[in-house]
A and B are shown apart, each in its own frame.
Chain A
Amino acid sequence: MSAIDLVDIHKTYKGKVKALRGVSLDVNEGEIYGLLGPNGAGKSTLVKIIMTVIHATRASGTVLGLPIGDVRGLKQIGYLPEHHRFPEYLTGTQVLHFYSALCGVERSTRKKRAASLLDRLGLQGWGRKRINTYSKGMLQRLGIAQALMNNPKLLILDEPTDGVDPVGRREIRDLLSELKAEGHAIFLNSHLLSELEMVCDRVAIMVKGKVTMQGTIDSLTNESKRIEIEIDCTPPEWTHSVFDKVDGQTMTKLGDNTSTVQPMIDRLRSEQCAIRSIKPVRESLEDLFMRAVDYIDNPGSHGENK
């Protein structure tokens, strides 16, 4: 069963601003799904529609098997909003108790989970301190702990590593991997492409209210896979006909099948041409992202996207 199965979501704000123009996507149980997009793409609007914070103009689909917008489904969802603000008069433990109580979690369970999550998120010893003494990174960790207090089946995190230092980011990545292993579905909304690349099973790229690409990173970057050979001499004439691209002393063969370049390597060597490097190259998520953004801006300048 899909944790999230959205079909044709539309949102038009007052003033006819179209934030979402028919978004469809699905997130499987037990996977980490990343949503990418430039500012104003409609990512937060989509997340807020899932969390019932915003009403969709038109929507169908399900979240954890219940129709989108059904608040009953929220009982099994943990959510960390972007730029969240906890009441400053509360301590860390009180924050966890308060928001999980709104979820209907019983006091005894809250007590156990709060202590355990504060430890797990590296906030041990801070539970009794008011949150106005917390750093931004600590608030972010507390926010993640808050999202986990109801032991959710689905975790929706909007910019979870915002303001977190590199060590903290790694810890959060490790935590996400652990949660995935425990069977939680995780929906990540982030600008940090390198981080998403490290943890996500699948990604969707949203631009101007539409999902332009969706799939595993491997499948999305498949057509960009190539082998690059760099040599020390001027490329012989024949290389122009067998390689897909020759640029200076670098020759490129599309695809990731290494056997296709073996005869060419042998021939270069036999012609006393020294080989400096041979490397398989794949488009990074950042390249993919830029391509998606560029495609929306200039639809005629590229091939068909997935």
Chain B
Amino acid sequence: MTVFKALLIDAYRQLSAAKLFWLTLGLSGLVVVLYGSIGFNDEGVTLLFGLFDVESEFITAGSPWARGFYLGIYSYFLVTIWLAWVATILALISTCSIFPDFVCAGSIELSLSKPISRLRLFLMKYLVSMLFVMLQVSVFCLGIFLCVGLRLGEWNWMIFVAIPIVTVFYSYLFAVTVFVGMVTKSGIAALLVTGVFWMALFSVGASEGILTSVVTSQEVQIERYQEGIEKQQAILDEIIAKSPEDFRIESKQSRIDEMKTDNEASVEFLGKIRAWQEPISWILTALPKTAQTIGLLDRWLSSDDGFDLGAIMRGDMSELEEVEEIDPTNHWAVQRETEKRVQDEYDGRSLWYVIGTSLIFEGFILGLASLIFCRRDF
């Protein structure tokens, strides 16, 4: 415990000596203040402490949509964009040289000559290096917690779930930083390779997301075609039963044939897309799932009653049902159903899949880095 405490205190001293740590903290504070400046009244949303008003029929003071909107800004934008992108980039810049500095000549001898096994020293150093992110996110969450409490009158402790989520997300990337830092002993190289790795993860994740959407969309389309064919066939059968010479028979048959052709084209297209989607899904399973890890916060913060920012962005506040009734194969109806199903698909992915498999990848990379650390002559 003495050793871990010493490394933890040292990590704090190292961070607090870095200007970037305070700059990031200051920027986080500014983001929290801007968030706190959003309020609600009977007419809608107020911005910058009432300086601007945005009228809204649904998002008004005390409405469930206001709650969904305010928490959604936190989970959709502040966590996803600020914490998971901007603050993470600043954190990586601040911490990329921790391990290269740790193993540099003249410094590593002082640590290795202490009665601690190399593996233990390595793992403890890795854990305390997360302090930057943990501290930044903790302070940020505290600010958000107070804003939500004061604005909505709801003291939502789930906000603090962002601390472990963002820390775990950051640890996927930091493991790569550490590995490259161990191999090259260069902070810059570690940062660059981590950046490339992150982009690669983003690309794979985005590809998987797009392909999943396309596959789901085709599935919905096919379902709608089949429903439509059955419905049209039933009408046609009814018409034929009443009057086999009815003038509508030809046009109905033509419509059914057209739908069957479209359906076959969709089935064929679905097969082709699945051939791409499945391997990419397998690749993603083996890699850290950064976006889905951050997405967990939204899953856990969203209310079960559906009053959330996702619903607001999908347009669920207004009624779209009549569009679906007119033509179930209508583009908007299909898109809306696809979005719902994709969201359900992501929400249904287990914690084991999202975090567990990502941690296995992290453990593998860390294992390699620790192997180098334990076997290297310094």
Contact = CB atoms under 8 A, between A and B. Distances in A.
Contacts of B111: 102
A79 B115 CA distance: 12
Nearest to B6: A101
A299 interface: no
Contact of A98 (B10, B104, B108, B377): B10
A85 B107 contact: yes
B112 A55 contact: no
B105 A102 contact: no
Given A98-B10, A104-B2, A55 B113 contact: no
Nearest to A102: B114
B127 to A, nearest CB: 15
A150 to B, nearest CB: 9
A97 B377 CA distance: 26
B115 A94 contact: no
B45 to A, nearest CB: 45
A243 interface: no
Interface string B95-119: 0000001001111111111111100
Contacts of B108: 53
Nearest to A91: B13
B5 to A, nearest CB: 7
Given A54-B377, A102-B3, A106-B2, A87 B14 contact: yes
Contacts of B378: 48, 53-54
B17 interface: yes
Contacts of B104: 85
B112 A52 contact: yes
B375 interface: yes
A90 B110 contact: no
A278 interface: no
A146 interface: yes
Interface in A65-91: 71-75, 77, 79, 81, 83-87, 89-90
Contacts, number: 86
Contacts of B105: 83, 85
B3 A89 contact: no
A83 B109 CA distance: 10
Nearest to B14: A89
Contacts of A83: 105-106
Given A54-B377, A87-B14, A89-B14, A103 B110 contact: no
Interface residues of A, number: 34
Interface residues of B, number: 29
Given A55-B377, A104-B2, A72 B115 contact: yes
A79 B113 contact: yes
Contacts of B10: 87, 90, 98
A53 B109 contact: yes
A90 B2 contact: no
Contacts of B375: 55
Interface string A197-229: 000000000000000000000000000000000
Contact of B113 (A13, A53, A101): A53
A103 B114 contact: yes
B110 A84 contact: yes
29 contacts: A51-B112, A53-B108, A53-B378, A54-B378, A72-B115, A73-B115, A79-B110, A79-B113, A81-B106, A81-B109, A83-B106, A84-B106, A84-B107, A85-B105, A86-B107, A86-B110, A87-B13, A87-B14, A87-B101, A87-B107, A89-B16, A97-B6, A98-B10, A99-B114, A101-B3, A102-B6, A102-B7, A102-B116, A106-B2
Interface of A: 13, 48, 51-55, 71-75, 77, 79, 81, 83-87, 89-90, 94, 97-99, 101-107, 146
Closest 7 CB pairs of A and B: A101-B6, A89-B17, A85-B106, A81-B109, A102-B114, A75-B115, A54-B377
